[in-house]
Amino acid sequence: MYQIIDGKKIAQEIKEELREKVAAWKEQGKHFCLAVIQVGNDPASSVYVGNKKKACAYIGIDSLSYELSEETSQQELLELVEKLNVDDKVNGILVQLPLPKQIDEHKIIQAIAPDKDVDGFHEKNVGALCVGSKGYVSCTPLGIIQLLKRSKVEIEGKNCVVIGRSNIVGKPMALLLLRENGTVTVCHSRTQNIKEITKQADILIVAVGKPQFIDDSYVKEGAVVIDVGIHRDANNKLCGDVDFEKVAPHTSAITPVPGGVGPMTIAMLMYNCVQNAM
């Protein structure tokens, strides 16, 4: 029988731990504030931003909300980021992605002060992860490491395969698994004989961005499978990059969608905000 890795429960545990710490630190006069910027009113972004603000309120972090119009220019957004960079009351800055097409996302991310970049997307933080020094780490992969550790999944010495090499999931995921002494392989759209590689995985992390792409033919018997994907299926039901029904019986542990990786991303954003204020 396989274990369902309960991301909702683990995320709640982390939020409770943070809430207690924040309350204690506030008594010592410390202050926590996250600035959240949304440009335009993409419905999915509005849901994510709303959830982030709710999590801040729960933990005791103040949130400053900036809702800018879809027509905002790159210069206007850069000016706001600059203002927040030098505002001592603000510990963390989050610009919700994607941004409208007139704005260069890379330019905006690089404009955020690295010590306020709670998403961990700035090149300085990515570089720090690469060389093993202190810095902010992208929340989704950071959350996956917590899911594995708190579910007592050993990473050290294990064959870890990551499908996907995006800057926000696949690449930092591979670096974090390496930091935990896993033996790491990264697959992508040009990988040949991908099943031969994924069938070697003790831990398979799927961030391919394609609904129910991974079935049991990709998975070694008894592997741990982490599904990063979020999609709507033909019946408008949430599903992941993994075909859960087909894959789960062949695993020792697996994350569901919803209730797996998703809740961890917000919990780790809160973790990053709190680290920043310390």
Any idea which residues carry the catalytic annotation?
52, 96, 119
Q: For 206, how many CA atoms within 13 A lie in the half-sphere containing its CB?
A: 33
166 is a contact residue toward ligand NAP (CB under 6 A):
yes
Report in angstroms how near the CB of residue 156 gets to ligand NAP at its nearest.
25
220 is a contact residue toward ligand NAP (CB under 6 A):
no
Element (H, E) at 227: strand 223-227
Report in angstroms how near the CB of residue 89 gets to ligand NAP at its nearest.
28
Report in angstroms how near the CB of residue 193 gets to ligand NAP at its nearest.
11
Indicate left, alpha or beta for 244 from its phi (over 0: left) and psi (-120 to 50: alpha): alpha
Cα 202 to chain centroid, rounded: 22
- Tell me whether the omega of the peptide bond preceding residue 263 falls within 30 degrees of 0, making it cis: no
**Stretches 39-47, 72-80, 152-160, 226-234: which one binds ligand NAP (CB under 6 A)?**
226-234
106 is a contact residue toward ligand NAP (CB under 6 A):
no
- Among the listed residues 36, 148, 161, 208, the single contact to ligand NAP using CB under 6 A: 208
Cβ distance to ligand NAP smaller for residue 178 or 194: 194
Report in angstroms how near the CB of residue 51 gets to ligand NAP at its nearest.
10
- Among the listed residues 118, 160, 262, 271, the single contact to ligand NAP using CB under 6 A: 262
SS3 of residue 156 by DSSP: coil
> Which stretches of the chain are DSSP H helices?
7-27, 43-59, 74-85, 105-111, 123-131, 139-150, 170-179, 194-198, 244-247, 261-277
Cβ distance to ligand NAP smaller for residue 229 or 256: 229
